[in-house]
Amino acid sequence: MANLVKYDWYQSDTAVTITVMLKNATDKNYSVVIEPKFVSLSADGIEPITINLWDTINHEQSSHKVTPSKVEIKLAKMVGNRWETLEKKILLNESSTAKNVHDWDKISKDIEKQEAEEKPQGDEAVQELFRKIYSDASEETRKAMVKSYYESGGTVLSTNWDEVGAKTVDVKPPDGCEFKKWK
């Protein structure tokens, strides 16, 4: 049974360095493959490592070196940006081919559908109710709603234009509350 190998990485603006802990590496017949999108290492007695890189590298300017306790792989970045992580997770479909493509339109529509199915709660539910009443209302009802709300300082909302159209709407705070005008 092959042993698992530990590895770590760090980066600069121009390179990513992977350090693979491998005792007596020169005696273990190790090999490193460096490609633009992945790196792999295999050696006698260990589980092979394949790393799907976060970003594309310049494999021609990349290198590796061995010491008695480790293999150090230096990867030249194509672009001088910071990597969020060393490895990009690749999803596999049923036919085991790599798939990195997302259907953003479908995802967006799914999110919109979920949001439409969500029921508002609390103040949001009340506001949604008033929006629906206002959008479905006749012109007279809309005028009544706006006039009553404005003139009462937000304490009255009427949909009856005959009631509010002829006179000024008085302020009617809830029981136990006092209305104060702000200067």
Phi, psi of 140 (to 5 degrees): -65, -40
- Identify the CATH assignment for 7-81 out of 2.60.40.790, 3.40.50.10470, 3.20.20.70, 2.40.10.220: 2.60.40.790
Task: Please tell me the pTM assigned to this model.
Answer: 0.48
Burial of 87 (0-12, 13-18, 19+ CB in 10 A): middle
Please, where in the chain does CATH 2.60.40.790 lie? Answer: 7-81
pLDDT of residue 2: 63
Q: What percent helix, strand, coil does the chain show, rounded to 5?
A: 25, 30, 45
pLDDT of residue 47: 84
Compute the C-alpha angle 128/131/136, nearest 5°: 125
pLDDT of residue 101: 62
| 8: amino acid identity, one letter | D
pLDDT along the chain (183 residues), means of 10: 78 92 79 92 86 92 90 91 85 50 75 77 81 88 89 86 88 82 73
pLDDT of residue 93: 52
Q: CA 128 → CA 23, 101, 158, distances in Å? A: 67, 37, 16
Radius of gyration, alpha carbons of the chain:
34
